[in-house]
């Protein structure tokens, strides 16, 4: 056994890879299902004429869901208004979601420059989420409790111990190619959470790492996967799975959980993506018919980039002078494609049908 005591720092947390047989029939069958769903989603993304078009929206949706796990709740409406409007966020929850989205961006950009997940990258991510200068824990005293306030886990303590375990995780993440990437993703997520390198923000950082691993393993080009939505829905099972590893060295429950998360969210992501593409096509056709002088492919892209848009976005896309594009927006509203709302001194235009897809 691991000599685990929930109220003492778990400095004996075993290094990776685990010395357990986890490639059981059940796990391998599930791995195949998850991989298939993920490959379909990735194929659909590759076929998009302009995959990066949806990036902002996808990042924001994941950021919103992930923040909800920690009870940071904002509505889609507030969130997208805040992103598009000049008026800066008066709502702290919205602000935190936007920082989280920035952290996802930061991670992806970093992997594009150099394809490694490092301890430093984790630190940059947590700093970006929390908008402070936090780092690896140096003082003792971090514990995890359940809702009743009872301690359920005490992570390793001492900067050196934490760094050593992080270095081992780094090696596993970047160098191990004998374990299936999705199984590896589950193992490293457990390990990251068990090390709990920061005093706060470990859950959020760990969830971003899941997306980064998919990117690193070339399984998913853009994060059209709302993993956090699944975790919100199955939160108790998530915590239970983490504990099964620590307390009984039982990996299967947690690995199955992560594989199911990938499968289900990939299927849902594909569904959403297809709905958006279809809506974009029919809307484009409709605008072409009803407003032939307004229509252009670029214009349709601008009103699908985010559920809210404004005059400046059309100007930035070189669609015309302020006066011309102002006229376009008025015409689009008259025909029911968009609906205007006043936010501060500005007028924003809502694409309600796109918002509806994101809401469900
Ligand atoms: N028994 C456990 N062992 C290891 N890790 C755990 C355990 N229970 C929960 N965790 C992890 O700790 C995270 C919470 O840690 P922390 O508060 O530092 O993160 P956060 O990002 O601020 O919060 P949250 O994940 O709730 O959004 C959980 O999301 C989970 O991943
Ligand atoms: Mg927290």
**In sequence order, what are the residues at sequence separation of 6 or more whose Cβ sits closer than 8 angstroms to the Cβ of residue 202?**
126, 192, 193, 196
Q: What percent of the chain has pLDDT over 70?
A: 99
Q: Can you tell me the distance from the alpha carbon of 185 to that of 181, in angstroms, rounded to the nearest whole number?
A: 6
Q: Do 59 and 169 lie in a common domain?
A: yes
Phi, psi for 339 (deg, rounded to 5): -135, 130
Query: Residue 70 Cα, ligand 2 centroid: separation in angstroms?
Result: 7
Q: Let me know if residue 312 belongs to a domain.
A: yes
Q: Do 73 and 177 lie in a common domain?
A: yes
**Using one digit for the tens of pLDDT, what is the confidence trace for 64-101?**
999 999 999 999 999 999 999 987 767 889 999 999 99
Mutate to test the pocket of ligand 1, among 203, 207, 235, 236 (most ligand atoms within 8 A of CB): 203
Residue of the CA atom closest to atom 30 of ligand 1 = 203
Residues 185/191/193/197 CA torsion (nearest 10 deg): -120
User: What is the mean pLDDT of the segment spanning 31-40?
Assistant: 98
Q: Do 266 and 301 lie in a common domain?
A: no
Q: Do 306 and 157 lie in a common domain?
A: no
Q: Let me know if residue 14 belongs to a domain.
A: no
Q: Any idea which ligand is nearest the CA of 193?
A: 1
Q: Do 46 and 150 lie in a common domain?
A: yes
Query: Residue 199 Cα, ligand 2 centroid: separation in angstroms?
Result: 8
Q: Do 231 and 83 lie in a common domain?
A: yes
Sign for the CA dihedral angle at 181, 64, 105, 296 comes to positive
Is it the case that residue 197 has pLDDT exceeding 70? yes
* pLDDT at 221 (0 to 100): 85
Query: Residue 59 Cα, ligand 1 centroid: separation in angstroms?
Result: 21
Mutate to test the pocket of ligand 1, among 152, 154, 186, 242 (most ligand atoms within 8 A of CB): 242
Which of 245, 272, 299 terminates a domain? The answer is 272
* pLDDT at 34 (0 to 100): 98
Q: Do 232 and 298 lie in a common domain?
A: no
Instruction: Tell me which of 6 and 222 has the higher pLDDT.
Output: 6
Which of 272, 304, 328 terminates a domain? The answer is 272
Q: Let me know if residue 10 belongs to a domain.
A: no
> Within 6 Å (CB) of ligand 1, which residues are found?
69-70, 144, 152-153, 193-194, 200-204, 206, 239, 242-243, 246
Residue of the CA atom closest to atom 1 of ligand 1 = 243
What is the number of the ligand 1 atom nearest to the C-alpha of 206?
Answer: 31
CB contact at 8 A, 207 and 122: no
User: What is the mean pLDDT of the segment spanning 228-245?
Assistant: 96
Query: Residue 70 Cα, ligand 1 centroid: separation in angstroms?
Result: 9
* pLDDT at 3 (0 to 100): 76
Is it the case that residue 19 has pLDDT exceeding 70? yes
CB contact at 8 A, 195 and 169: yes
Query: Residue 126 Cα, ligand 2 centroid: separation in angstroms?
Result: 11
Q: Do 128 and 170 lie in a common domain?
A: yes
Q: Let me know if residue 283 belongs to a domain.
A: no
Which of 237, 272, 307 terminates a domain? The answer is 272
Is it the case that residue 196 has pLDDT exceeding 70? yes
Q: Let me know if residue 6 belongs to a domain.
A: no
CB contact at 8 A, 206 and 69: no
* pLDDT at 48 (0 to 100): 87
Q: Do 229 and 321 lie in a common domain?
A: no
Query: Residue 229 Cα, ligand 2 centroid: separation in angstroms?
Result: 17
Q: Any idea which ligand is nearest the CA of 258?
A: 1
Sign for the CA dihedral angle at 75, 81, 82, 87 comes to negative
Phi, psi for 260 (deg, rounded to 5): -65, -40
Q: Do 260 and 323 lie in a common domain?
A: no
Residue of the CA atom closest to atom 14 of ligand 1 = 203
Q: Can you tell me the distance from the alpha carbon of 324 to that of 108, in angstroms, rounded to the nearest whole number?
A: 36
* pLDDT at 2 (0 to 100): 54
Q: Let me know if residue 195 belongs to a domain.
A: yes
**Using one digit for the tens of pLDDT, what is the confidence trace for 283-342?**
999 999 999 999 999 999 999 999 999 999 999 999 999 999 999 999 999 999 999 999
User: What is the mean pLDDT of the segment spanning 237-251?
Assistant: 97
What is the number of the ligand 1 atom nearest to the C-alpha of 246?
Answer: 3
Our count of domains for the chain comes to 2
Q: Do 341 and 203 lie in a common domain?
A: no
Q: Can you tell me the distance from the alpha carbon of 220 to that of 283, in angstroms, rounded to the nearest whole number?
A: 28
Q: Any idea which ligand is nearest the CA of 231?
A: 1
* pLDDT at 89 (0 to 100): 67
Q: Let me know if residue 91 belongs to a domain.
A: yes
Query: Residue 132 Cα, ligand 2 centroid: separation in angstroms?
Result: 14
* pLDDT at 344 (0 to 100): 87
The 3-class SS string of the chain reads CCCCCCCCCCCCCCCCCCCCCCCCHHHHHHHHHHHHHHHHHHHHHHHCCCHHHHHHHHHHHHHHHHHHHCCCCCCHHHHHHHHHCCCCCCCHHHHHHHHHHHHHHHHHHHHHHCCCCCHHHHHHHHHHHHCCCCCCCCCCCCCEECCCCCEEECCCCCHHHHHHHHHHHHHHHHHCCCCCHHHHHHHHHHHHHHHCCCCCCHHHHHHHHHHHHHHHCCCCCCCCCCHHHHHHHCHHHHHHHHHHHHHHCCCHHHHHHHHHHHHHHHHHHHHHHHHHHHHHHHHHHHHHHHCCCCCCHHHHHHHHHCCEECHHHHHHCCCCCHHHHHHHHHHHHHCCCCEEEEECCEEEEECHHHHHHHHC
Residue of the CA atom closest to atom 22 of ligand 1 = 201
Q: Let me know if residue 1 belongs to a domain.
A: no
Q: Can you tell me the distance from the alpha carbon of 190 to that of 356, in angstroms, rounded to the nearest whole number?
A: 34
Is it the case that residue 1 has pLDDT exceeding 60? no
* pLDDT at 229 (0 to 100): 94
**Using one digit for the tens of pLDDT, what is the confidence trace for 202-236?**
999 999 999 999 999 999 988 888 899 999 999 99
pLDDT mean across residues, the chain: 95
Q: Do 82 and 184 lie in a common domain?
A: yes
- What is the CATH classification number for the domain harbouring 302? 1.10.10.10
- What is the CATH classification number for the domain harbouring 186? 1.10.3290.10
User: What is the mean pLDDT of the segment spanning 108-132?
Assistant: 97
Query: Residue 130 Cα, ligand 2 centroid: separation in angstroms?
Result: 10
CB contact at 8 A, 302 and 338: no
* pLDDT at 151 (0 to 100): 97
The region of weakest confidence among 47-51, 134-138, 241-245, 325-329 is 47-51
Domain that holds residue 327: 291-359
Q: Any idea which ligand is nearest the CA of 71?
A: 1
User: What is the mean pLDDT of the segment spanning 347-351?
Assistant: 97
Q: Any idea which ligand is nearest the CA of 144?
A: 1
């Amino acid at each position: 056994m691991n000599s685990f005591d929930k109220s003492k720092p778990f400095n004996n947390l075993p290094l990776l890879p685990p010395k357990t047989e986890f490639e059981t029939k059940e796990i391998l069958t599930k791995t195949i299902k998850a991989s298939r769903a993920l490959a379909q989603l990735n194929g659909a993304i590759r076929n998009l004429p302009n995959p990066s078009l949806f990036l902002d929206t996808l990042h924001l949706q994941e950021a919103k869901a992930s923040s909800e796990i920690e009870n940071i709740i904002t509505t889609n409406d507030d969130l997208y208004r805040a992103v598009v409007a000049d008026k800066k966020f008066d709502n702290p929850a919205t602000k935190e979601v936007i920082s989280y989205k920035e952290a996802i961006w930061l991670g992806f950009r970093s992997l594009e420059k150099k394809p490694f997940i490092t301890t430093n990258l984790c630190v940059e991510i947590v700093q970006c989420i929390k908008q402070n200068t936090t780092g690896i824990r140096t003082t003792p005293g971090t514990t995890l409790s359940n809702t009743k306030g009872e301690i359920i886990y005490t992570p390793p303590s001492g900067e050196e111990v934490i760094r050593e375990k992080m270095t081992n995780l780094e090696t596993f993440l970047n160098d191990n190619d004998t374990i299936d990437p999705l199984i590896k993703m589950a193992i490293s997520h457990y390990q990251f959470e068990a090390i709990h390198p920061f005093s706060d923000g470990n859950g959020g950082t760990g969830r971003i790492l899941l997306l980064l691993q998919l990117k690193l393993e070339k399984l998913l080009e853009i994060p059209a996967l709302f993993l956090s939505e699944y975790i919100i829905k199955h939160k108790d099972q998530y915590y239970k799975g983490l504990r099964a590893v620590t307390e009984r060295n039982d990996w299967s429950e947690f690995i199955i959980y992560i594989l199911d998360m990938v499968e289900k969210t990939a299927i849902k992501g594909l569904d959403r993506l297809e709905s958006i593409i279809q809506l974009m096509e029919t809307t484009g056709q409709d605008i072409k018919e009803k407003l032939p002088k307004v229509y252009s492919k670029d214009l349709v892209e601008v009103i699908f980039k985010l559920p809210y848009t404004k005059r400046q976005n059309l100007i930035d896309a070189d669609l015309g002078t302020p006066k011309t594009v102002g006229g376009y927006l008025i015409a689009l509203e008259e025909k029911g494609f968009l609906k205007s709302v006043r936010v501060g001194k500005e007028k924003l235009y809502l694409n309600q049908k796109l918002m509806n897809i994101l809401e469900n």
